């Protein structure tokens, strides 16, 4: 499951290994800190290199983070020294395991319009539909990042940042060694304070603070700062300001999740400067009663003092859905919105309503708006079985990409696995996995879901999920090329090995996995797949319907297969002729597009006529508002990112099957996605 075998010991004792980033946040601060800390224990010099950037010294968390390595980025790990092999392998293992974070493949496509940006954040609950009451909005476009709709007086944190030190002052040569030591002491104090605070906490707050402590003690910054004092005679304050501001700027330029960590560096900088000056940094406002805390931004260290009993909600001007403010707010169950530009201009005590799902910030809400506050929303795990309000069963299962995702899916209440994207186990491979390796991965998931449905999808390599050992690298149009089942044209042995591995895993665990093929376009392909799967000894064989061609022959596919499963991501891509990875065309690949809904409706009709179970496993199934429509179209099971299961289960439980059918009919008859949503909502009201 790793690229280690591709690694080589080159001449001169250098160990080189290549792998790719898997965790959804990429090599941001915390993973970078984990790598830097790990390497402190090895007698080896290790660098990490990504395409187009200078290699980073892997004992410097900041240097690693500046690589801005997003999920999927290839990483070359190079080590020298007595323990180079062990050090390089340990780093590769961390990267391959995703640092215990959610993996990118789990989130693939999850930024569906359902919940907007808040659903794309790790552990965000799916957003609720916006309330219908129009209200006075703050002039900004805030984002909800932690759910809950609360009202309270604001307490604004002001003047938290120190003023920039002068860069004009030059230290005499004799004073420079002492200045270096003074800076080292201040830095060590800040790192130690952050570390000690982190040690007293749990969960993500602990991890975030410990990672920030590693940033404070970063060796690359310390070396540059010491050089600035020794060589240029800058004061410790000026040099810390220069180095950490510059580094923060590079984080900002990297964009996305990395930019959202800029505040962490700025805060470390300010804490070191405050220590050098012997002053205290302003903490969170203390009003003596529960308040909505408003700040420009919050650093991890600020959040130590956060307490859900006194902090009703958080509102920040900066930050994004994956900023530490957002992560920690979600962990503490505190509603939060970020990006509320201008919010720090509010007077202390101003009454506001904050909706951490929709991003609404209403200043001085009137009585009608106040009445819409519901308090803090917590999303307990789903308790199945999934059903409509009149008891029609709809199995709610999880999409997973690796065996380790099974535990999270179980925690959220998944009734089974409706889509195991097996290719994600092998994304970093340069050669086909052995049957034994596959058996191990599949058996782990089957055992975790013993007695429940597990649908393994055979390798869906190509296009957005290239596997170098299976898919051509030079196709002009990979989404329309040799991907999914089509790879079996060139390498039938890979498919047969996989089917064999699934059968062995089934035997070993005494479970009964379902298997299905992606990217089927013809009846002939479906027939051949079913034949091969049955020949391997697999009893329950399905076909994915994700091309318009498959929709048009759905009845024949249903007759051949034991079940069919609609992949809304690809079905939307191919129906709308719009790349599913294009942000610019996202509105076209919306599963609410009437053309896509009508495609699904054709499949539903074919499934009903043939009595074939119909599942939907694309991201459309994670949209709590679309779920009743899909059920109305004939889906008897919905498979989605595990985090969406509670909200989908909740929505379904509020509608009868007849309402779902009416919603489906109304949505299909609409002529725009917005009209389809409204029509469905009306039918469900």
Q: Which residues are catalytic?
A: 324, 617
Q: Pick one of ligand PEP, Mg ion, none as the site partner of residue 617 (Cβ within 5 to 8 A by kind).
A: ligand PEP
- The CB-of-644 to ligand PEP minimum distance in angstroms stands at 13
- The CB-of-460 to Mg ion minimum distance in angstroms stands at 6
Contacts of 212 (CB under 8 A, 6+ apart): 29, 194, 198, 264, 267, 268, 299, 300, 301
Contact pattern from residue 361 through residue 400 relative to ligand PEP, giving x for each residue in contact according to CB under 6 A and a dash for the rest: ----------------------------------------
Contact pick of 546, 562, 590, 623 for ligand PEP (by CB under 6 A): 546
- The CB-of-676 to Mg ion minimum distance in angstroms stands at 22
Contact pick of 150, 229, 467, 617 for ligand PEP (by CB under 6 A): 617
How far, in Å, CA of 644 to CA of 396, rounded? 10
Neighbours of 188 (CB within 10 A): 15
- The CB-of-517 to ligand PEP minimum distance in angstroms stands at 11
Provide the 8-state DSSP code for 484: G
| Structure tokens, 543 | 């076909």
Contact pattern from residue 91 through residue 120 relative to ligand PEP, giving x for each residue in contact according to CB under 6 A and a dash for the rest: -----------------xx-----------
How far, in Å, CA of 80 to CA of 58, rounded? 12
The stretch near ligand PEP (CB under 6 A) out of 258-266, 340-348, 509-517, 568-576 is 568-576
Q: Which of residues 403-442 bind ligand PEP (CB under 6 A)?
A: 419, 421
Contact pattern from residue 458 through residue 477 relative to ligand PEP, giving x for each residue in contact according to CB under 6 A and a dash for the rest: --x-----------------
Count Cα atoms within 13 angstroms, Cβ side, for 342: 9
Identity of the residue, 106 or 270, whose beta carbon is nearer to Mg ion in the bound complex? 106
Identity of the residue, 108 or 550, whose beta carbon is nearer to ligand PEP in the bound complex? 108
Contact pick of 19, 187, 235, 569 for ligand PEP (by CB under 6 A): 569
Helix (H, G, I), strand (E, B) or coil at 534: helix
Size of interface with ligand PEP, in residues (CB under 6 A): 12
- The CB-of-25 to ligand PEP minimum distance in angstroms stands at 20
Contact call for residue 626 and ligand PEP (CB under 6 A): no
**φ, ψ at 466 (rounded to 5°):** -65, 140
CB 568 within 8 A of CB 596: yes
Q: Pick one of Mg ion, ligand PEP, none as the site partner of residue 418 (Cβ within 5 to 8 A by kind).
A: none
Residues in the chain: 685
Q: Pick one of ligand PEP, Mg ion, none as the site partner of residue 471 (Cβ within 5 to 8 A by kind).
A: none
Contact pick of 567, 604, 632, 673 for ligand PEP (by CB under 6 A): 567
Q: Pick one of ligand PEP, Mg ion, none as the site partner of residue 421 (Cβ within 5 to 8 A by kind).
A: ligand PEP
Contact call for residue 205 and ligand PEP (CB under 6 A): no
How far, in Å, CA of 94 to CA of 508, rounded? 29
Give the H/E segment covering residue 53. Answer: none
CB 76 within 8 A of CB 3: no
- The CB-of-573 to Mg ion minimum distance in angstroms stands at 8
Contact call for residue 618 and ligand PEP (CB under 6 A): yes
**What is each CA distance from 430 to 20, 433, 438, in whole angstroms?**
11, 9, 15
CA–centroid distance for 354 within its chain: 24
- The CB-of-647 to Mg ion minimum distance in angstroms stands at 23
Residue 113, classified by CB atoms within 10 Å of its CB into exposed (0-12), middle (13-18) or buried (19+), is: middle
- The CB-of-567 to ligand PEP minimum distance in angstroms stands at 3
Contacts of 62 (CB under 8 A, 6+ apart): 32, 215, 218, 220, 221, 247, 265
The stretch near ligand PEP (CB under 6 A) out of 153-161, 239-247, 468-476, 566-574 is 566-574
Helices assigned H by DSSP within 491-621: 492-509, 523-535, 548-552, 554-560, 568-576, 594-610
How far, in Å, CA of 416 to CA of 409, rounded? 8
Identity of the residue, 254 or 419, whose beta carbon is nearer to ligand PEP in the bound complex? 419
The stretch near ligand PEP (CB under 6 A) out of 56-64, 123-131, 548-556, 567-575 is 567-575
Contact call for residue 570 and ligand PEP (CB under 6 A): yes
Q: Which of residues 149-188 bind ligand PEP (CB under 6 A)?
A: none
- Would strands 637-640 and 395-400 be described as parallel, antiparallel, or unpaired? parallel
| Structure tokens, 484 | 């999914």
How far, in Å, CA of 61 to CA of 205, rounded? 18
Identity of the residue, 321 or 518, whose beta carbon is nearer to Mg ion in the bound complex? 518
User: Angle at the Cα of 140 (from 134 to 145), degrees rounded to 5?
Assistant: 85
The stretch near ligand PEP (CB under 6 A) out of 154-162, 228-236, 447-455, 565-573 is 565-573
Q: Which of residues 630-659 bind ligand PEP (CB under 6 A)?
A: none
Interface with Mg ion (CB under 5 A)? 546, 567, 570
- The CB-of-616 to Mg ion minimum distance in angstroms stands at 12
CA–centroid distance for 631 within its chain: 27
- Positions in the binding site for ligand PEP (CB under 6 A): 108-109, 419, 421, 460, 546, 567-570, 617-618
């Amino acid at each position: 499951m790793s690229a280690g075998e591709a690694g080589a010991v080159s001449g001169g004792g250098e160990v080189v290994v290549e792998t790719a980033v898997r965790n959804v946040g990429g090599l941001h601060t915390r993973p970078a800190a984990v790598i830097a800390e790990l390497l402190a224990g090895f007698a080896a010099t290790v660098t990490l290199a990504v395409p187009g950037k200078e290699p980073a010294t892997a004992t410097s968390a900041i240097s690693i983070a500046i690589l801005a390595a997003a999920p999927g980025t290839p990483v070359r790990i190079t080590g020298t020294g007595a323990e180079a092999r062990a050090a390089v392998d340990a780093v590769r293992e961390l990267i391959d395991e995703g640092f215990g974070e959610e993996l990118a493949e789990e989130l693939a496509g999850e930024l569906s319009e359902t919940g907007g940006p808040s659903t794309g954040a790790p552990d965000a609950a799916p957003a609720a539909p916006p309330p219908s009451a129009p209200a006075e909005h703050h002039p900004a476009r805030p984002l909800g990042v932690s759910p809950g709709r609360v009202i309270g007086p604001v307490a604004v944190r002001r003047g938290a940042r120190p003023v920039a030190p002068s860069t004009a002052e030059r230290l005499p040569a004799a004073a420079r060694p002492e200045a270096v030591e003074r800076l080292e002491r201040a830095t060590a104090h800040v790192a130690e304070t952050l570390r000690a605070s982190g040690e007293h906490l749990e969960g993500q707050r602990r991890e975030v603070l410990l990672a920030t402590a590693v940033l404070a003690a970063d060796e690359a910054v310390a070396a540059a700062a010491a050089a600035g004092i020794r060589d240029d005679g800058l004061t410790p304050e000026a040099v810390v300001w220069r180095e950490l501001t510059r580094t923060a700027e590079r984080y900002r330029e990297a964009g996305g999740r990395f930019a959202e960590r800029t505040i962490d560096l700025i805060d470390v900088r300010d804490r070191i400067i405050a220590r050098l000056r012997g002053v205290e940094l302003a903490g969170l406002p203390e009003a003596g009663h529960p308040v909505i805390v408003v700040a420009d931004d919050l650093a991890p260290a600020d959040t130590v003092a956060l307490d859900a009993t006194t902090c009703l909600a958080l509102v920040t001007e900066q930050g994004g859905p994956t900023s530490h403010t957002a992560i920690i707010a979600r962990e503490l169950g505190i509603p939060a919105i970020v990006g509320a530009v201008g919010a720090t201009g509010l007077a202390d005590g101003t009454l506001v309503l904050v909706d951490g799902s929709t991003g609404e910030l209403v200043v001085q809400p009137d009585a009608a708006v106040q009445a819409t506050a519901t308090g803090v929303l917590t999303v307990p795990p789903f308790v199945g079985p999934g059903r409509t309000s009149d008891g029609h069963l709809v199995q709610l299962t999880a999409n997973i990409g690796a065996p380790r995702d099974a535990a999270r899916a179980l925690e959220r209440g998944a009734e089974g696995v409706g889509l195991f994207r097996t290719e994600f186990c092998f994304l970093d491979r340069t050669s086909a996995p052995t049957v034994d390796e596959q058996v191990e991965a599949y058996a782990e998931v089957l055992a975790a879901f013993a007695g429940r449905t597990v649908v393994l999808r055979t390798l869906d390599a190509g296009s957005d999920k290239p596997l170098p050992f299976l898919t051509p690298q030079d196709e002009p149009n990979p989404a329309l090329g040799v991907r999914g089942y089509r790879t079996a044209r060139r390498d039938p042995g890979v498919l047969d090995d996989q089917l064999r591995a699934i059968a062995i895993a089934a035997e070993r665990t005494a479970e009964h996995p379902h298997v299905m093929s992606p990217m089927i376009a013809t009846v002939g392909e479906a027939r051949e797949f079913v034949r091969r799967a049955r020949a391997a000894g697999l009893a329950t064989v399905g076909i994915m319907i994700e091309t318009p061609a498959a929709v048009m022959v759905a009845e024949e596919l249903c007759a051949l297969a034991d079940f069919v499963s609609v992949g809304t991501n690809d079905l939307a891509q191919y129906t709308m002729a719009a790349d599913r990875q294009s942000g610019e065309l996202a509105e076209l690949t919306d599963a609410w597009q009437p053309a896509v809904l009508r495609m699904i409706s054709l499949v539903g009709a074919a499934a009903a006529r043939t009595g074939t179970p119909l599942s939907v496993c694309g991201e459309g199934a994670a949209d709590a508002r679309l779920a009743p429509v899909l059920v109305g179209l004939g889906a008897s099971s919905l498979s989605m990112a595990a985090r969406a299961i509670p909200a989908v289960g909740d929505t379904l439980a509020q509608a009868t099957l007849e309402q779902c059918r009416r919603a489906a009919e109304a949505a299909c008859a609409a002529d725009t996605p917005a009209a389809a949503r409204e029509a469905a909502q009306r039918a469900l009201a």
